[in-house]
Structure 1
Amino acid sequence: MDLTVLGEPTRPMVEVGGGFANRLQRLDTDQGSFAVKTLALTDRREPYRAAAVFRLEQAAFAAGIPMPEPIAASADTLVHRWVDGVAVPEAPVSPNFGAAVGRLLARLHALDVDWPADPEPSPVPRDWPGLAARAVRSGQPWAAELAAKAETFQAIAAFVDSCPRPGPVVLTHRDVQPWNLLSQDGAPVLLDWELAGRLDLAAELGSTALGLAKGPGLDTVRPASFRAVLDGYVDAGGTLPPSGPGWFVHTLGGWLGHTRLNLLRCLSGEAAVAGPDLAMSHRIVADGVSGLPELYERLPQLQALLP
């Protein structure tokens, strides 16, 4: 992408910390400040739809949804107007902040934006006993725990594959979590739209509400923060789908796929071309091996949070 159209630089581009997959830099010019993100397009679980995501971002920004202004997009580079704000910690948010996120989602789901047809979903892999055996043979540090829980991982995969989705399906961000939010004067600003696409409404609301109601583990789930997201959604004109386990299938499925992808990296002994190094991949797998079974076992408790 030709960045000269953004103006004359006033200082060299600055590398900005954050995620471990994409590269983010800040560009200051005589026309303002911009966030320039170079996408890691290899080793993804699904293709990135640059043009479609950019259309959705433009429509969302035009509708007044709090987010960085989308400036330009190419196959591998995204440019947004730079936004200052306070990082949102992975901890239960205040009810006011949760309600604001719920209202934001209701406005987003009300947009009418063209989206390309989605491919048929692939079955969720159920090869966890074999992966555990390979991990044991190769001496992975988390292998014994995975081997002991392999059948639980099979059950999680079966749940993700077969759990009913009550609908409707909405076009949405799909990753509204603390690490993709900033706080400006106590109000949310939604970042990082690369995973945007269609998703069952219950899965979107459940993933978002749970992510904003808990800390790094599941021992700090705050019901008031969870319900505030849903109350804000309804206050802004949204309609809640029927309650059920499908509210949490996106959280489980996303974490399961992320764990498996990094597990395969660890088994190969090769880090992603543009992504986490092997040490980070090992930490991701260890977190998944310990955390996924706990999340799965706590589904009845989480469903008790639903209306």
Structure 2
Amino acid sequence: MNVDELDLGRAVPLGFRSARTWRLDTPDGRFFLKEGGALTTFDREVEKAGVDVPRLLGTTRSVRVYEWIDGRDLTADDDVSEWLGTTLARLHAIAPLERAEPEVYGVHDRWEELLAEGSRRGRRWAGPLRAGLPALLATVEWISGVFAASGRYVTTHRDVEPWNVMITPTGPVLIDWDAVGPDSAPLEAAHAAYAFGAPRRVADAYEAAGGVPLRASPDLLVRRIGLRLSRLTERLEMSLGTEPLRAEELESVERRAGEQIESIPSFVAELREQGMRFRR
């Protein structure tokens, strides 16, 4: 079909997190529309590799047009362990990289700057951040070292979570590819295996399909900690004015940021322990 002929004015807005989306009903069928640029080489290679993804029909006016998926959300009763391990192995074989930076791991040098600005503005999280800063900086240094030592960098999905899997009549489909970028294959695989609640089964399937062995280690789940720090950074920046907030929203953001800062040591300890028990 020629996607340029679609009447986008008839599209119905849907909910979104990172990009606007729409449903479009036409005489030729129903389509899913999402803000996005032209197809990339990686997009094409993902489909060729047999990764179960929404079928991309083309782009028009900065909107990507997909076949509509008749499916449902993943539930705790769905065992997708083998599919997930196989999918990750196929995905990680597509675009290997010689090097990468820990873009989504909260590794940056702005923590002291954020503290200074938060203190100047009287943000309620400034006290907890001041008290916890030495431990936080040590955690950031640890995360950076683990990422550097992990190797096996790839271009990948970077948001493989249960809420980004739909169950269809023909099987699971991995959706929401907005976060595609460089990452560590073993760290993403370990993160996903843990997030889906079946570390051993996912790891077995991952290795059987050609993925690297995921061995128990206190460093194995470092990606989850990095994501927590990355989201904390976003919350601190929000409270400092990166986007307009109502008074009640600012209060909520400040409170949650303070709680996250105070919980970092126990969160790190828990995930280091879970990393040691990964395949039990």
Match of 2:184 among 196, 200, 204: 200
Paired with 2:273 and 2:72, the residues of 1 have a C-alpha distance of 32
Aligned residue number for residue 253 of structure 1: 226
Closer, same or farther in 2 for the Cα pair 1:18/1:228, shift >3 Å? farther
Aligned residue number for residue 240 of structure 1: 213
Paired with 1:189 and 1:279, the residues of 2 have a C-alpha distance of 38
Question: What TM-score, normalized to structure 2?
Answer: 0.78
Aligned residue number for residue 265 of structure 2: 293
On the 8 A contact 1:16/1:26 being kept in 2, the answer is yes
Aligned residue number for residue 15 of structure 2: 17
Aligned partner of residue 96 in structure 1, secondary structure: coil
Aligned partner of residue 192 in structure 1, secondary structure: coil
Aligned partner of residue 188 in structure 1, secondary structure: strand
What code does the residue aligned with 2:90 have?
R
Paired with 1:17 and 1:300, the residues of 2 have a C-alpha distance of 36
Aligned residue number for residue 56 of structure 2: 70
Superposed displacement of residue 304, structure 1: 1.8
Closer, same or farther in 2 for the Cα pair 1:95/1:23, shift >3 Å? closer
Give the gaps of 5 or more residues in structure 2.
none
1:266 aligns with 2:239: yes
Q: Which moves more between the two structures, 280-289 or 127-136?
A: 280-289
1:34-45 to 2 correspondence within 5 Å? 34-38=31-35
Give the gaps of 5 or more residues in structure 1.
40-49, 214-224
Paired with 2:86 and 2:266, the residues of 1 have a C-alpha distance of 30
Superposed displacement of residue 64, structure 1: 3.1
- RMSD across aligned positions (CA): 3.5
Superposed displacement of residue 203, structure 1: 1.0
Paired with 1:75 and 1:207, the residues of 2 have a C-alpha distance of 35
Aligned partner of residue 256 in structure 1, secondary structure: helix
1:13-162 to 2 correspondence within 5 Å? 13-19=11-17, 21-38=18-35, 50=37, 54-73=40-59, 76-88=62-74, 93=76, 96-111=79-94, 124-162=107-145
Paired with 2:220 and 2:78, the residues of 1 have a C-alpha distance of 20
Superposed displacement of residue 280, structure 1: 7.6
Superposed displacement of residue 176, structure 1: 0.3
What is the aligned residue count?
272
Aligned partner of residue 149 in structure 1, secondary structure: helix
Aligned partner of residue 51 in structure 2, secondary structure: coil
What code does the residue aligned with 1:228 have?
R
Paired with 2:60 and 2:28, the residues of 1 have a C-alpha distance of 20
Aligned partner of residue 296 in structure 1, secondary structure: helix
1:302 aligns with 2:274: yes
What code does the residue aligned with 1:297 have?
A
- The percent identity for this pair of structures is 27
Aligned partner of residue 149 in structure 2, secondary structure: coil
- Deviations along 1:260-296, one digit per CA (max 9) or x if unpaired, are 1331121126349xxxx86785576356435543321
Question: What TM-score, normalized to structure 1?
Answer: 0.73
